[in-house]
C-alpha cells in the first residue's frame, strides 16, 4: 500500500519487544510499513527520538505499550509526539493499550490528581487523539481536551473463555473487592456463571483529606458586649 495514498504512518514509540511486536502486527494487518525512527536512552538516561522520514501533513499513529519502567515510556511518548509535531504532522494519535497513572485519578489526602497532569502533558506535546482500553474510571476522559476512545476488552475475553476453556461452565467469577462487583457481575451474567465477592476494608470516602478540622480563629469581641 502506498503511503502517499493512505496519508498516515504508524510509528513505534519504544524498542521493547512487546511494543515492537504489537507495532509489526498492526502494520502487517494494515498493509503499511512501520515508520522509520530511532528511540534510545543516552548515557545520562535522557530520552532521544529521531524521526528518519518526512511526516509533513500526515496522520501519525504512535504505538506505545507501558512496561515496568513507566516513566521512561511516558517520556518516550512525549518526546516522540513533540518531534512529530515539530516535523509538521497534521494529526498525532496515541495508541496506548494501558493508560498509565489512571489509578491516580482522585485526590488522596494532600496528594494530586496525576492522571490530569499526564493528560495535560500529552496535549501540550502535540497529541490530538488517544486510543486506549479499559480506563480505570470512565470519568478520566474528561481530563483531556481532545477525543479519547476508551475501547473494551471484555468481548475478546469472553470469546476466549468460551472457545479455549471447554469446562468453563463449572467456573465462577470472583470480584476481588466490592468496588469490582459490578464489573464482575457483567461477566457472570453474560457467561451465565455464579458470582463471588471478596469483602475487605472498604475505601474510606474521607481519604481525600476533607475530614481535616478547620482552622480555629480566636475572635475577640467588643469589651462592652457579652458574647
Q: DSSP for 92-139?
A: EEEEESS-TTTT--S--TT---HHHHHHHHHHHHT--EEEEE--S-GG
**What would the pLDDT profile of 116-167 be if each residue is shown by its tens digit?**
999 999 999 999 999 999 888 888 888 999 999 999 888 999 999 999 998 9
pTM exceeds cut of 0.75: yes
List the grid coordinates of 111.
496528594
- Do 66 and 172 lie in one domain? The reply is no
- Do 29 and 87 lie in one domain? The reply is yes
Structural domain that includes position 177: 154-201
Q: How far is CA 119 from CA 4, 102, 139, in A?
A: 31, 10, 13
In the prediction, which pLDDT does 18 show? 87
Task: Confirm whether 137 is domain-assigned.
Answer: yes
- Do 111 and 97 lie in one domain? The reply is yes
Alpha-carbon gap, residue 13 to 16, rounded angstroms: 9
In the prediction, which pLDDT does 69 show? 87
- Do 140 and 166 lie in one domain? The reply is no
- Do 158 and 111 lie in one domain? The reply is no
In the prediction, which pLDDT does 215 show? 54
What is the C-alpha end-to-end distance of the chain, expressed in Å? 85
Alpha-carbon gap, residue 142 to 146, rounded angstroms: 9
Task: Confirm whether 220 is domain-assigned.
Answer: no
In the prediction, which pLDDT does 194 show? 92
Grid cell 494494515 in the structure block, residue:
30
- Do 104 and 160 lie in one domain? The reply is no
Q: Name the stretches of the chain with pLDDT < 70.
A: 1-6, 15, 201-227
Q: How far is CA 11 from CA 20, 89, 171, in A?
A: 10, 12, 41
Tally of structural domains, the chain: 2
- Do 119 and 197 lie in one domain? The reply is no
- Do 13 and 115 lie in one domain? The reply is yes
- Do 69 and 133 lie in one domain? The reply is yes
Amino acid at each position: 500500500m502506498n503511503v502517499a495514498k493512505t496519508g498516515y504512518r504508524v510509528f513505534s514509540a519504544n524498542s521493547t519487544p512487546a511494543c515492537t511486536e504489537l507495532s509489526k502486527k498492526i502494520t502487517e494487518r494494515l498493509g503499511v510499513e512501520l515508520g522509520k525512527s530511532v528511540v534510545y536512552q543516552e548515557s545520562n538516561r535522557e530520552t532521544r527520538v529521531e524521526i528518519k522520514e518526512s511526516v509533513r501533513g500526515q496522520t501519525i499513529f504512535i504505538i506505545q505499550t507501558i512496561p515496568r519502567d513507566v516513566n521512561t515510556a511516558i517520556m518516550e511518548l512525549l518526546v516522540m509526539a513533540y518531534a512529530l509535531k515539530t516535523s509538521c504532522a497534521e494529526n498525532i494519535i496515541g495508541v496506548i493499550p494501558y493508560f498509565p497513572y489512571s489509578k491516580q485519578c482522585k485526590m488522596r489526602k494532600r496528594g494530586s490528581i496525576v492522571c490530569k497532569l499526564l493528560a495535560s502533558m500529552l496535549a501540550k506535546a502535540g497529541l490530538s487523539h488517544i486510543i486506549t482500553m479499559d480506563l480505570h474510571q470512565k470519568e478520566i476522559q474528561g481530563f483531556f481536551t481532545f477525543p479519547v476512545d476508551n475501547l473494551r476488552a471484555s468481548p475478546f475475553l469472553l470469546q476466549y473463555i468460551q472457545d479455549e476453556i471447554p469446562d468453563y461452565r463449572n467456573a465462577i467469577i470472583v470480584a476481588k473487592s466490592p468496588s469490582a462487583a459490578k464489573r464482575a457481575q457483567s461477566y457472570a451474567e453474560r457467561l451465565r456463571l455464579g458470582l463471588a465477592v471478596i469483602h475487605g476494608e472498604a475505601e474510606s470516602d474521607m481519604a481525600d483529606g476533607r475530614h481535616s478540622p478547620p482552622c480555629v480563629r480566636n475572635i475577640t469581641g467588643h469589651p462592652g458586649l457579652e458574647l
